[in-house]
Structure 1
């Protein structure tokens, strides 16, 4: 990902305190980016041809106009807020029922360097709610997708990249370089620190029924992973002390690292697969998106 010159921001029509606006202003200000604010709110009022002519028809036309004006005024106020920061901003509003289809069409048309969308909390005490629209964007968004959590950034925080340098697929290796390049660029532009995370899990089952030294085997596996990590990060000017390499439970150690490094953004890679597995999917991906307290930036190699 090169410098952020175009940002597409998906505005939540039902949330007046949307954290995605704060993130977008910050990213656009530092990157001197152009911004497109889009909002989709399905209009559930009857259409003109669904009501009888006369008083009822005039009433529903007035309600429809009021509906449009309300959300367009919200977008206009946000546009003014961005422009007072010197950010070139345009807006787009639609009232279609297929939220994801409208958003994806605008993304393909605008071709942003990054798309931003907030994810919701079910309640103050519960997990993040990843909606069907969110998952469709994770799978199909052609641009880097930043899923924004409802919490402020740490002023001394970090951009944390999760990499897998021992993956056998060349495409994953290329993706790791993209993740690190993105992490370093974002950290530099936002005046944050760049951090790298890798977790490995020695397959002890492959040792049996042979009798071998388990501790020596684990040390050997760790050395192999560490050598790969050092080679990878050195190509991006990242020092060894910026790397956290853990063993065991991926989710547990990732969450511990996010807290330790005060991560504002977790940068993840998604490989294109078939129609069913078109992005990071499954229980591990869900746990990462649901449980991580920081924003998650999802990158794909084949933009």
Structure 2
């Protein structure tokens, strides 16, 4: 089964080892006719400020730097190309990497963006750079943020779903997240687990309403989430033991379940409005992402329009 066949990999300019490229090659091994583009946006402010040079000389210097980096990427990819993988190299001069990356996604219709993240040594979680956040918020295709590890056989993939909202947009996004998880799990030989966090009883309600019964309220909320989860797993043919409905904040629950299951990948959606206002990841999702100790795949809702789209909605 081919899920992704036009993958864009963002190169890490600081090191020869490229975890994002390794992940793309791993996906390509499991599919047919996958094209990988290794992409690097570079910029050196000093070349723009060298007033002693003419514009032609500055342009020549920039070209020289681009060619040098292209040769470096060719060295990195040579082994994979020799093994038969279809890998292109693109190096551009641009002072905002995330804009250059998203422009590349649009111009060449990539269906997956892969970028490496950095481990936060003390906390055991992930550090996301400003470029990472821009990509998670604004990239029109799925964004896979990878860490420095391999995906094991018979691993676990977590689909993080939101069952609190009954809106059509949320339902569509939940379906998309679960479908994506099932497809990737089939590629990896992994097990899909659905995770949903539901809120605890607000303390201020019990204070303001003396007749309020927090236990009944909590049972009702949990019951609603369990019923919604049952419907979702039935729809996608998943067994009950692979679903988790847990009280708490998503930013606490999702990383904890990921750690308990030793999951290699968490898939979540970034919800919001479409059109010129675009989608912004909410604070909850941002905190969740920041605490994960595994790879992350972020999906946009159907109809999402990136603020960097060359053809924004009128």
TM-score clears 0.5 = yes
- The Cα offsets for residues 109-140 of structure 1, whole Å up to 9 and x where unpaired, read as 1112211111234x633553322221211121
Once residues 111 and 8 of structure 2 are traced to their aligned partners in structure 1, the CA distance between those partners, rounded to angstroms, is 8
Alignment correspondent of 1:134: 132
- The Cα offsets for residues 169-211 of structure 1, whole Å up to 9 and x where unpaired, read as 2101100000000000000111111111001014345465152
Once residues 232 and 34 of structure 1 are traced to their aligned partners in structure 2, the CA distance between those partners, rounded to angstroms, is 33
1:1-303 aligned at under 5 Å gives the runs: 3-32=3-32, 33-46=34-47, 50-52=51-53, 67-121=65-119, 124-125=121-122, 128-204=126-202, 205-206=204-205, 208-273=208-273, 278-282=279-283, 284-301=284-301, 302=303
Once residues 202 and 288 of structure 1 are traced to their aligned partners in structure 2, the CA distance between those partners, rounded to angstroms, is 17
Q: Select between 269-278 and 288-297 the one with higher mean Cα deviation.
A: 269-278
- The Cα offsets for residues 125-163 of structure 1, whole Å up to 9 and x where unpaired, read as 355332222121112101001111233334432110100
Q: How far 1:271 sits from its partner (Å)?
A: 1.9
- The secondary structure found in structure 2 opposite 1:232 is helix
Once residues 249 and 78 of structure 2 are traced to their aligned partners in structure 1, the CA distance between those partners, rounded to angstroms, is 46
Once residues 116 and 81 of structure 1 are traced to their aligned partners in structure 2, the CA distance between those partners, rounded to angstroms, is 20
Q: How far 1:213 sits from its partner (Å)?
A: 3.9
Q: How far 1:63 sits from its partner (Å)?
A: 6.2
Once residues 180 and 53 of structure 2 are traced to their aligned partners in structure 1, the CA distance between those partners, rounded to angstroms, is 56
Q: How far 1:48 sits from its partner (Å)?
A: 9.9
Q: How far 1:221 sits from its partner (Å)?
A: 2.0
- The secondary structure found in structure 2 opposite 1:50 is coil
Once residues 282 and 49 of structure 2 are traced to their aligned partners in structure 1, the CA distance between those partners, rounded to angstroms, is 42
5+ residue gaps in structure 2?
A: 305-314
Q: How far 1:299 sits from its partner (Å)?
A: 0.3
Once residues 140 and 152 of structure 2 are traced to their aligned partners in structure 1, the CA distance between those partners, rounded to angstroms, is 29
Q: Select between 264-273 and 66-75 the one with higher mean Cα deviation.
A: 66-75
- The Cα offsets for residues 62-110 of structure 1, whole Å up to 9 and x where unpaired, read as 8656533431112212332332343222110012212111111100011
Contact 2:177-2:267 at 8 Å conserved across structures: yes
Q: How far 1:265 sits from its partner (Å)?
A: 1.0
- The Cα offsets for residues 243-280 of structure 1, whole Å up to 9 and x where unpaired, read as 11110232222222001221111101012337677221
Once residues 120 and 14 of structure 1 are traced to their aligned partners in structure 2, the CA distance between those partners, rounded to angstroms, is 12
Q: How far 1:7 sits from its partner (Å)?
A: 0.7
- The secondary structure found in structure 2 opposite 1:91 is strand
Residue 129 to residue 256, structure 1, CA distance change in 2 (3 Å): closer
Once residues 298 and 244 of structure 1 are traced to their aligned partners in structure 2, the CA distance between those partners, rounded to angstroms, is 20
Q: CA RMSD in A?
A: 2.7
Once residues 16 and 122 of structure 2 are traced to their aligned partners in structure 1, the CA distance between those partners, rounded to angstroms, is 20
Q: How far 1:218 sits from its partner (Å)?
A: 1.9
